[in-house]
Copies of this chain bind each other. A is one copy, B any other.
Amino acid sequence: MTEPPRAISWTGTAIQIIDQTALPTQLRVLVIDQIDDLVSAIQRLAVRGAPALGAIGGLGVVLALAQAQREGWTQATTHAAIDRIRQARPTAVNLARGVDRVRDRLADGPAAALGEALSILAENEAANRSIGAQGADWILTHVSRRPLRVLTHCNTGSLATAAYGTALGIIRALHHRDVLEIVYVDETRPLLQGSRLTAWELAADGIAHLVQPDAAAASTVLGGLVDVAVIGADRIAANGDTANKIGTLGIALACADADIPFVVAAPQTTIDLTTPTGQAITIELRDDAELLTWGDTRLAPTTTRAHNPAFDITPARLITALVTQAGVLEVAHGHRPDTTAAPGRLTVPG
């Protein structure tokens, strides 16, 4: 098996990333040594994916320190730069978490900060391998058909994380166990993370797959073409409501109707116990041009405006299982992330 690419690393003086906007036609590596460039890379989605953003947040603090030292920044300037990274994208809690975790170590010196940032990367990879194994175990216990046909959305692989992937980690684990028939990959408009990134990772690993329009997901599920849907998460509220790439909710509704499992895979850091329900999650509305233009081509009349939310909220009642490195919660059966918040809802899984 080929090792999946490392999307994020620290060169000693800069952050190195694979530019996800150039895939699949070009494997372009960016070496970023300026905070301005990092904020821009985050905002134009050159780096994206909740766990990857956590790692980038941590390394961003290290980069701010390095640039501050080179350019003689004051402490206030340095913290303002760190805040800019922290706020580059509002919905993904991991970005802010990664920033805060490394910022908290600044008093211990640059080496401690770097160590903390690299720990985020290492811990995320370990978490993903655990998520992959436990998610595969759960699916093999709860779904009888062999080989399995899986639906996924957006990109949750080695590009979106430190390595291996979350939902795509489960898919990789199923593949390694030789029980996977095919993966249906939603193309994931408007930025095509499914067709550009997930298909690229699956092709690299030799995993059979088909890319479909996002709008086909419901009919693929109700038509009996898949046995389980496995997706990632950008933020999970205390009650289990999950913010993830726009389109996730529609898949969950289809799985509920067809009575097949809808599985969310995410590291524990994605769970935000300070957010009681999905209603408290800010949904990022992205630029019209992302949806209404393709390069220089206008796809709609010039006067037309867009509604372009980056995420949707899937209510906990639609989530069959939430897989983290700590185990599997059967959310729709009342096993919520914050079990103390709603004890009355706890029931024995069916």
CA distance A215 to B300 in the complex (A): 18
In the complex the two chains form, is B196's CB within 8 Å of A300's CB?
yes
Q: Select the stretch in A113-121, A186-194, A329-337 that faces chain B.
A: A186-194
Given known A-B contacts A187-B291, A189-B189, A253-B254, A213 and B304 have beta carbons under 8 A apart: no
Interface residue from B186, B218, B249, B308 paired with A212 (Cβ < 8 Å): B308
Q: Which of A56-98 contact B (CB under 8 A)?
A: none
Task: Flag whether A309 is at the interface (Cβ < 8 A).
Answer: yes
What's the minimum C-beta distance from A277 to chain B, rounded to whole angstroms? 14
- In the complex, the answer to whether B303 meets A203 with C-beta atoms within 8 Å is yes
Most buried by B among A203, A212, A216, A307: A216
A170: Cβ under 8 A from any B Cβ: no
Query: A199: which B residues are within 8 A, CB to CB?
Result: 300-301, 304
Cα A189 to Cα B210 in complex, Å, equals 16
Q: Which of B203, B213, B292 contacts A211 (CB 8 A)?
A: B292
Residues of B within 8 A of A6 (CB): none
**Residues of the B chain whose Cβ atoms lie less than 8 Å from the Cβ of A246:** 213, 215-216, 219
A304 x B211 contact (CB < 8 A): yes
Q: Which residues of B contact A227 (CB under 8 A)?
A: none
Do B212 and A215 touch across chains, with their CB atoms under 8 A apart? no
Residues of chain A from 158 to 215 with CB closer than 8 A to chain B in the complex: 184, 186-190, 192, 195-196, 199-200, 202-203, 209-215
Residues of B within 8 A of A186 (CB): 215
Closest-by-CB residue of B relative to A315 is B222
A215–B215 contact, CB under 8 A? yes
Residues A195 and B300 in contact, CB atoms below 8 Å apart? yes
Complex-state Cα separation, A195 to B302, whole angstroms: 11
A25 within 8 A of B: yes
Do residues A187 and B299 form an inter-chain contact, with CB atoms below 8 A?
yes
Shortest CB-to-CB span from A285 to chain B, Å, is: 10
Say yes or no: is A232 at the interface (Cβ < 8 Å to chain B).
no
Chain B positions within 8 Å of A210 at CB level: 304-307
Chain B residues with CB below 8 A from A309, complex form: 212, 216, 219
What residue in chain B is nearest A220 (Cβ atoms)?
A: B307
Cα distance, A250 to B217, chains bound together (Å): 8
- Taking A195-B300, A211-B304, A215-B246 as known contacts, 11 extra A-B pairs with beta carbons closer than 8 A to each other, sorted by chain A number, are A187-B300, A188-B215, A203-B304, A213-B246, A215-B250, A216-B309, A217-B250, A218-B247, A218-B312, A219-B249, A220-B307
Can you name 25 A-B residue pairings with CB atoms under 8 Å?
A24-B298, A25-B297, A25-B298, A186-B215, A190-B213, A195-B292, A195-B304, A199-B301, A209-B305, A210-B304, A211-B291, A211-B300, A211-B306, A213-B247, A213-B308, A214-B214, A215-B247, A216-B246, A216-B309, A218-B247, A218-B250, A219-B246, A225-B307, A253-B253, A253-B257
Please name the 10 residue pairs, one residue from A and one from B, whose CB atoms are nearest each other, closest first. A215-B247, A219-B312, A218-B250, A214-B215, A210-B307, A195-B300, A212-B307, A203-B301, A218-B249, A199-B304
